Chain A
Amino acid sequence: MKAGTVLVVDDEPAIHRFMTPALTANGYEPLRADTGSEALALVANRRPDAVILDLGLPDMDGKEVIRRLREWSAVPILILSARDREVEKIEALDLGADDFINKPFGMGELMARLRAALRHRMQEKGETPVLRLGTVEVDIPRHRVTRAGEEVKLTPKEFDLLAFLVRHGGKVLTHRQILREVWGPAHEHDTQYLRVYVGQLRAKIEDDPASPALIVTEPGVGYRMGG
């Protein structure tokens, strides 16, 4: 069965060379683009289920590709990035990319990220009022959270934060995105709030708050919802 169409955008032929057989072996249908404009055209024509995008493209900045795609498409975007370009990566995530992976990478990890992004997209399509994250269930309309069936008491802010994170499960959220959505645009840079609340949430919902599995820290970038 076809797990979906995946567009790989990279100007290095070598990347396509190993990516194509790997994606095919995992049941995806690979599409290839070498430039940003080629990528934009292919997304419009072939409607891929996910895009794997290298930020360094010869004809336009990878961030520009994300900006233009996000104007009309919600397709999950996975960024291929270099470790020394942290700032670029955060900007790309702020622009609406879903996740990132640092070069060089193992194929298993890439496939896992791809699956998570696609699953998250399915979930969004379903628009279920009750979201699940491991053993934690979040009932958005009734403001109730249970862990292994037992109710967890959360402050309103904690609930807002958890709801926002769970709604974007499988996606990397930057500090700025979370702060803007949960605390408001005036608090975009108050990362200390975030650290305190995330600590409290972890204490309440994680099995082992010392090595969290649900709210995973992406150092210097933000948080990723696991489970």
Chain B
Amino acid sequence: MSVEEPPRADPEALLAAAEREARGQLRIFLGAAPGVGKTYAMLNAARAARTGGRDVVAGIIETHGRAETQALVEGLEMLPRKAIAYRGRLVPEFDLEAALARRPSLLLVDEYAHSNVEGSRHPKRWQDVQEILAAGIDVWTTLNIQHVESLNDVVQRITGVRVRETVPDTALQKADEIILVDLPSDELIKRLADGKVYVEDTATRAVQSFFKPSNLTALRELALRRVAARVDSDLVERMQGSAIEGPWAAGERLLVCVGPDGTAERVVREAKRLADLMDASWFAVTVERPGHVMASRDRARLDAGMRLAETLGAETRALVASDLPGELLRFARFENVTQIIIGKARRRGPFGSLRRSLADALVRASDGIAVHVVTAEAREAGPGMGWRSRLPPAGPISGFLAAGLGVAGATLIGLLLTRVVALPNVSMLYLLAVLLPALLHGVWPAIFASGLSFLAYNFFFIDPVETFTVARPHELLALMVFLIVAVIISAIAGRAREQARLAARRMRSTRRLYDFTRKLSALPDEARVAEAAVVELHATLGRASVILLAREGSLAIAAAWPPEDRLDTASMTAANWAFERGEAAGAGTGTLPTAPWLFRPLGGTDGGRRIGVIGIEHDGAGTPLDTEIEGLLGTLVEQTAAALLRTMLSAEVTRVRTAAETERVRNILLASISHDFRTPLASILGAATSLIDYGPNIPAEARQDLLIQMRDEAENLDLMVRNLLSMTRLEAGALDLRRDWVDVVELMNRAVAAVKKRGATQRLVVTAAPDLPLVQADPSLMDQALGNVVANAVRYAGREARIGLSATVIDGQMVIAVTDDGPGIPADTLPHVFEKFVRAPRAAGDGGDGSGLGLAITRGIVEAHGGSVSARSPAPGQRSGTRIALRLPLGPEAPTEEKA
């Protein structure tokens, strides 16, 4: 922060405060040792709070049978414990569900560091507490200083007792208040002597050494310092929150480099202690070399170190670089790190010195950055960065066989050649015999070949031949040089092969990821994306996979590979947890680790929608996934979430678009109906009011015409209402045909009469083939169907048009055609004339706009009869005009005789 800038509230400090407000408040009663009276102090304070009107409930209290403590519990509401079956007995545990259901204002939970019995939701009680806090309930709890994770080492060194139940520092940092419960060491020892201090059976052997005055004093100091540091950080946070310029600006920043050797854990704890002392933020980083394969044991150690650093509150980063010290320093400078902490394994043997170079290189180049070197016992240390760890496993026996055969071949060729020509350097042949297995089978067969070649060369070609002794010194030298060259070639060629193999593997996995993404992005719907994703996950990770999606508020399996349609209760609970909290749950995590599946939430990052969870079945051991698979899984989960979200969004878009289209159609329908109804209504109202107001002044003939007009228009309205009703019925599929024998000629004549009655001025001609059969059809619906076509022709063909109606039988179908010589239908409208609300541009001076329903109804009716409709423009054999044809299937036994 530059000096000129006005003080600004640190958003992170404000955010932290805001987050805490929604959460419950956590108060920890911290003591230096058992027996100082933490539970007693907590209960006293709780009673006071209850008297002050708070809703206080004791979730779990360990009184250890002490009378004073027991007395304080009296009168407090106590949650019953939950019995959990474990190894054949029932262990009473804190009942998390009951606490959440009870929702008190303040909950007392004794012993923050307690480990829950297997089968509980969380392995640790502090995790239960976090969940209660998240539900907005205040919690008071108790804790001894030796249970704090980062102090674990220190406490062990002071007391000689290793504490197994630890609480991560982050869980301590989350406390809103820490209250120190202190008791002078002498008094505590006196209480112990009086039998007032409860000590767990398992710890009795350590009691004597633990409760020594020197130990207790040291522990008290630790506790006091911890609380003091806490008060300090509270102050800083408050100052940042209110933008007060303060002393934190030039704070220290630490960086700890975590290696795969045994020093990792020690180095991380040391870094944490330093960071706390300096009130500094700290990073934990690993540096991996590109192309470097790490043994699984090293990988596990490295991951454990990084996980520890994370729980201790470090910011963790994984760097990739070939220049280890260079990359470390670059990162350190970028992040303004002031101190670097590295581990150094004390090691025997010639390779111990290899490790020192990192520390040396750092010290030499770290201008202005302090470097701490933490040493660890050699027996803890693993092979570290020694050359052995870089070698791949030996591989199958076939490689060695091939190497042996190669050497034998080289010997044979060498012997044959020396018979023919004098070969000065047979060793070249053996080099070939070393190089080939190095390239084909890796390092170990090549080294094997080197040794074998060395022996064979000596035996067959160096005097005295057929012995392993060497007569001349210069030949001994040549032999030794050969061996060295062969081994070096083996190593180099083997490494090259190994790297090529790695590169290929990496390319395969990149390719796989790319294919995965591409495959998912091409799939159209949710179900298929989920299906493809689980298959792909199974193929990539080699573990059973399942995707659960939220449907109507609860998770359901969308896809699983190998196919699976149900999960056990524990897994479902873990899945729901992962979905609701947006955190991983199940095997290998801190929540419900006994479930056989690991669940990761899908989506929900960056404010996105959470759509479900993805589950990976765990191997039996329950070990956490290593970082490489973890990283791959993370990428796959993200891709899957993105693909699923995409399909969901596109489905939503389609839904919205369909709704909009429906809305549009409805609007057109309303507009068209109101328009179509207006003209007949205007005519009826106009004619009626003319007669009412001016009747006597109108000649009788005109009066009659007005009355006829009223009747005609009313009939027009009726026709429109019928069309609308038919359309509705057609759309609902509720059209019931009342079939009867219908004479098509009569049908055509009725249609002509109808339009003429409505004032058609066109010439209408009806033609029919002789001996036309009758058709089985619904007469009134067919009237409507043909009527609409003829009315359409009258409306669009022009006033002087000629309209022909014809009926013929073609291919066992009755074809009724209506042909006009009007302007025709534009080519772009023609394919749509039978659709709803499609109207052709109207000829001038003719009838009103149609509703655009007429021909759609015609098609609906004809198709309901099993027939079809078609339109052509210009009409066949003409330069303009339109021909609309209705085809009806003829029944097999159509009676032709009935026709009169």
Q: Which residues of A contact B (CB under 8 A)?
A: 11-15, 17-22, 24-26, 34-35, 58-59, 82, 84, 103-108, 110-111
- Please state if A111 and B844 are interface contacts (CB–CB under 8 Å): no
Asked if residues A107 and B689 are in contact (CB atoms below 8 Å), the reply is yes
A58 to B841: give the CA distance in the assembly, Å.
9
Q: Is the CB of A35 within 8 A of B845?
A: yes
Of listed A12, A84, A108, residue having the most chain B CB within 10 A? A12
Q: Which residue of A lies closest to B710 (CB)?
A: A18
Residues of the B chain whose Cβ atoms lie less than 8 Å from the Cβ of A84: 671, 674
Q: Across the A-B interface, give the 8 residue pairs with the lowest CB-CB distance, nearest first.
A: A25-B697, A22-B690, A104-B682, A21-B702, A107-B689, A25-B694, A18-B687, A14-B683
Across-interface contacts of A104 in B (CB, < 8 A): 678, 681-682, 684-686
Question: A14 contacts B680, CB within 8 Å?
Answer: yes
A204 to chain B, nearest CB (A): 36
| A and B contact pairs by CB, cutoff 8 A, 16 listed | A11-B845, A13-B759, A14-B679, A18-B690, A21-B690, A21-B698, A21-B699, A34-B845, A58-B845, A58-B846, A84-B671, A104-B686, A106-B693, A107-B690, A107-B694, A111-B693
- As a 0/1 sequence over residues 833 to 844 of chain B, the CB contacts with chain A under 8 angstroms (1 = contact) are 000000000111
Chain B 588-628 residues near chain A, CB threshold 8 A: none
Q: Which partner residue on chain B sits nearest A37 by CB separation? A: B844
Interface size class of B (residues with CB under 8 A): 35 or more
Q: Given A18-B706, A35-B844, answer yes or no on A107-B674 (Cβ-Cβ < 8 Å).
A: no
CB distance from B528 to the nearest CB of A (A): 47
Q: A21-B690, A84-B674 are in contact. Are A106 and B685 (CB under 8 A)?
A: yes
Query: Does the CB pair A34–B844 fall under 8 Å?
Result: yes
Residues of A near B499 (CB, < 8 A) are none
* A59 CA / B692 CA spacing, docked (Å): 34
Set B674, B686, B843, B848: member contacting A19, Cβ < 8 A: B686
Distance of A82 Cα from B682 Cα, bound (Å): 10
Interface majority SS on B: helix, strand, loop or mixed? Answer: helix
Chain B residues whose CB sits within 8 angstroms of the CB of A108 once the complex forms? 689, 693
The residues of A that contact B182 with a CB separation of less than 8 Å are none
The chain A residue sitting closest to B684, CB to CB, is: A104
Contacts of A15 in B (CB 8 A): 679, 682-683, 686
Chain A CB within 10 A, most for which of B671, B690, B697, B759: B690
Question: B389 on the interface (CB 8 Å rule)?
Answer: no
Chain B 644-683: CB-based contact to A (< 8 A → 1; otherwise 0): 0000000000000000000000000001001100111111
In the bound complex, residues from chain A placing their C-beta under 8 Å from that of B690 are 18, 21-22, 25, 107
Asked whether B713 lies within 8 Å of A14 as measured between CB atoms, the reply is yes
Residues of A within 8 A of B517 (CB): none
Complex Cα spacing A104 to B686, Å: 7
Known: A25-B697, A26-B694, A107-B689. 19 other contacts (CB 8 A): A12-B679, A13-B847, A17-B683, A18-B683, A18-B687, A18-B706, A19-B686, A21-B690, A22-B686, A25-B690, A25-B698, A34-B845, A82-B675, A84-B671, A103-B681, A104-B686, A105-B682, A106-B689, A108-B689
Query: Which B residues touch A25, using CB under 8 A?
Result: 690, 694, 697-698
B705 at the interface (CB under 8 A from A): yes
Q: Are A82 and B678 in contact (CB under 8 A)?
A: yes
Is residue B709 contacting chain A, with contact meaning CB distance below 8 A? yes
**A105 contacts B845, CB within 8 Å?**
no
Known contacts A24-B698, A59-B844, A108-B689: does B709 contact A14 (CB below 8 Å)?
Answer: yes
Q: Are A107 and B686 in contact (CB under 8 A)?
A: yes
Residue contact A17 to B709, C-beta cutoff 8 Å: yes
**Distance of B766 from chain A, by nearest CB (Å):** 24
User: What residue in chain B is nearest A33 (Cβ atoms)?
Assistant: B845
B697: chain A residues within 8 A (beta carbon): 25-26
Complex: A107 Cα to B709 Cα, angstroms = 15
Q: Which residue of B lies closest to A34 (CB)?
A: B845
A89 to chain B, nearest CB (A): 15
Contacts of A17 in B (CB 8 A): 683, 687, 705-706, 709
Measured CA separation A201–B201 after assembly (Å): 103
- A111→B686 CA distance, assembly (Å): 11
In the bound complex, how far is the Cα of B705 from the Cα of A15, in angstroms? Answer: 13
Q: Which residues of A contact B678 (CB under 8 A)?
A: 82, 103-104
Q: Chain B: which residue is nearest A14 at the CB level?
A: B683
Count A/B pairs, Cβ under 8 Å.
95
Q: A11-B845, A59-B844 are in contact. Are A22 and B685 (CB under 8 A)?
A: no
Instruction: Give the Cβ gap from B357 to chain A, nearest Cβ, in Å.
Output: 83
Give the nearest-CB partner of B709 in chain A: A17
Contact pick for B685, options A26, A58, A105, A111, CB 8 Å: A105
Establish whether residues B686 and A105, one from each chain, have CB atoms under 8 Å apart when the complex forms: yes
Q: How far is the CA of A110 from the CA of B689 in the complex (A)?
A: 10
**A25–B680 CA distance with the chains assembled, in angstroms:** 22
A220 to B678, CA, bound (A): 21
User: Across the interface, do B698 and A107 meet the contact criterion of CB distance under 8 Å?
Assistant: no
Distance (Å) between the CB of A66 and the closest chain B CB?
A: 19
Smallest CB–CB gap between A134 and chain B, Å? 24
**B351 CB, nearest partner CB in chain A, Å:** 91
The answer to whether A103 and B674 touch (CB under 8 A), given A34-B844, A35-B844, A59-B844, is no
Contact of A58 among B683, B686, B709, B844 (CB under 8 A): B844
Determine the residue in chain A with the shortest Cβ distance to B694: A25
Q: How far is the CA of A98 from the CA of B617 in the complex (A)?
A: 83
Tell me the nearest residue of chain A to B761, going by C-beta: A13
Which single residue of chain A is at the shortest CB-CB distance from B690?
A: A22
**Are A103 and B689 closer than 8 Å at their CB atoms?**
no
CA separation between A34 and B679, bound complex, in Å? 15
In Å, the complex CA distance between A37 and B12 comes to 76
Instruction: Determine the chain B residues whose CB is within 8 A of the CB of A19 once the complex forms.
Output: 686
Q: Which residues of A contact B699 (CB under 8 A)?
A: 21
| CB pair B706 A21 closer than 8 Å | yes
In the complex the two chains form, what is the Cα distance from A106 to B685 in whole Å? 6
| Cβ–Cβ < 8 Å partners of B843 in chain A | 58
**Chain A residues near B680 (CB, 8 Å)?**
14
CA–CA, A21 and B705, complex, Å: 9
Least Cβ–Cβ distance between A182 and chain B, in angstroms:
36
- Of residues B678, B709, B845, which shows the largest number of chain A Cβ atoms within 10 Å of its Cβ? B845
Most buried by B among A22, A82, A108: A22
Residues of B with C-beta under 8 A to A105: 682, 685-686, 689
CB distance from B199 to the nearest CB of A (A): 88
Q: Which of A58, A59, A82, A107 contacts B693 (CB 8 A)?
A: A107
Cα-based distance from A19 to B689 in the complex (angstroms): 11
Smallest CB-CB separation from B701: which chain A residue? A21
| A22–B848 touching, CB < 8 Å | no
Contact present for B709 and A18 (CB under 8 Å): yes
Separation of A82 and B676 alpha carbons in the complex (Å): 12
Neighbouring B residues of A58 by C-beta, 8 Å: 842-846
A12 pairs with B848, CB closer than 8 A: yes
Inter-chain contacts of A82 with B (CB < 8 A): 674-675, 678
A107-B713 Cα distance, complex, nearest whole Å: 17
Q: How far is the CA of A58 from the CA of B674 in the complex (A)?
A: 19
Instruction: Kindly list chain B residues whose C-beta atoms are within 8 Å of the C-beta of A103.
Output: 678-679, 681-682
Cα(A30)–Cα(B442), bound, Å: 110
Residue of B nearest to A26 (CB): B694
Q: Determine the residue in chain A with the shortest Cβ distance to B849.
A: A56
List of B residues within 8 angstroms of A11 by Cβ:
844-846
**In the assembled complex, which residues on chain B have CB atoms less than 8 Å from the CB atom of A18?**
683, 686-687, 690, 706, 709
B contact residues around A26 at 8 Å (CB): 694, 697
**A22 and B705 alpha carbons, distance in the complex (Å):** 12
**Could you tell me the distance in whole angstroms from the C-beta of B877 to the nearest C-beta in chain A?**
29
User: In the complex, what distance in Å separates the CA atom of A216 from the CA atom of B706?
Assistant: 33
B845 to chain A: which residues have CB within 8 Å? 11, 34-35, 58
Cα–Cα distance between A13 and B679 once the two chains are bound (Å) = 10
Flag B5-45 by CB within 8 Å of A: 1 or 0 each: 00000000000000000000000000000000000000000
Q: Which chain A residue shows the least CB distance to B683?
A: A14
CB B694 to nearest CB in A, in angstroms, measures 4
Chain A residues with CB below 8 A from B683, complex form: 12, 14-15, 17-18
Chain B residues with CB under 8 Å of A107's CB are 686, 689-690, 692-694
- A66 CA to B751 CA, complexed, in Å: 40
